[in-house]
């Protein structure tokens, strides 16, 4: 005589099969609980068609049998998608809400092609005129060093919150395995950071620039790689001879 455990297991199996069979009949024979409408929100760069293809959802697909988690994983394979939430709404709707990555800077690929990068260092795609090319450019062999790349991105993050040296003033960030990180601005200033302790060095750079401005001076070069001091070169304001003669 079968034990109670075996009988219970068989009963659960039969019940599960009946439930699945009933769900399949309702879905495919009666057309109930099938996808009739997919509402996609939050996408600006990534097309609706691209999201639908990755989701694998079609008109008439079973709402019961598709997995939200699997659909989310498929949509996240597009590099421009930062996060996605998929929700079913019975009897016939699916909501897809996406958050897209934002271009933070650019790097040159191994083939020398300008490539968009997110603030976390995620490669997004090749540069184009539609999105624009006016972003800080990261260059140098040090890009392959994850720690150095992270420090370069930290500098850009600090500049995005600064009123002294803002993100849109940064033209290039050179990353060198030996000499560290150097920043070049759109008005031809340069700043050597070396490596490590970026936040402290950034605050020091801001203090130096702010102090020079209070003196009416304009720096052309700052070397902040030393621990306790910064080396500064600045442009001496030109004197108007005519005004002096007067």
Give the C-alpha distances (Å, rounded to integers) separating 89 from 21, 53, 63, 86, 151: 21, 20, 9, 10, 44
- Please list the pLDDT of the chain residue by residue as tens digits (246 residues): 555 555 445 555 554 544 545 545 445 544 566 778 889 999 998 999 999 999 888 777 777 777 889 999 999 999 999 999 999 888 888 999 999 999 999 998 878 889 999 998 899 999 988 888 899 999 998 988 999 999 999 999 999 999 999 999 999 999 999 999 999 999 999 999 999 999 999 999 999 999 988 988 888 999 988 766 677 887 766 655 554 454
Q: Is the pTM of this model over 0.75?
A: no
Which residues are 184's β-sheet partners? 172, 190
Backbone angles phi, psi at 205, to 5 degrees: -60, -45
| Residue 123 and residue 92 in contact, taking contact as beta carbons nearer than 8 Å | no
Parallel, antiparallel or unpaired: strands 170-176 and 114-117: unpaired
- DSSP for residue 171: E
CA 197 to CA 30: how far, in whole Å? 65
- Six token digits for residue 67: 């997995």
For residue 40, give the nearest of 20, 26, 54, 29 by alpha carbon. Answer: 54
């Amino acid at each position: 005589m079968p034990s109670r455990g075996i009988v219970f297991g068989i009963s659960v199996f039969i019940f599960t099969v009946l439930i699945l069979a009933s769900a399949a009949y309702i879905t495919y024979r009666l057309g109930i609980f099938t996808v009739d409408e997919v509402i996609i929100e939050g996408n600006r760069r990534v097309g609706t068609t691209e999201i639908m293809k990755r989701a694998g959802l079609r008109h008439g697909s079973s709402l019961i049998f598709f997995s939200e988690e699997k659909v989310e994983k498929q949509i996240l394979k597009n590099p421009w998608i930062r996060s996605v939430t998929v929700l079913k709404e019975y009897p016939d709707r699916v909501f897809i809400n996406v958050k897209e990555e934002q271009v933070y800077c650019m790097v040159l690929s191994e083939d020398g092609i300008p490539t968009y990068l997110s603030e976390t260092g995620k490669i997004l795609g090749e540069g184009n005129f539609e999105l624009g090319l006016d972003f800080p450019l990261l260059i140098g062999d040090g890009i392959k060093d994850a720690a150095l790349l992270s420090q370069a991105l930290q500098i850009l993050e600090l500049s995005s919150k600064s009123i002294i040296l803002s993100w849109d003033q940064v033209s290039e960030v050179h990353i060198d395995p030996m000499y560290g990180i150097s920043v070049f601005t759109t008005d031809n200033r340069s700043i050597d950071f070396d490596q490590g302790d970026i936040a402290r060095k950034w605050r020091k750079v801001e203090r130096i620039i702010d102090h020079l401005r209070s003196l009416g001076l304009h720096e052309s070069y700052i070397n902040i790689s030393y621990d306790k001091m910064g080396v500064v070169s600045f442009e001496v304001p030109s004197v108007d001879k005519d005004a002096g003669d007067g």
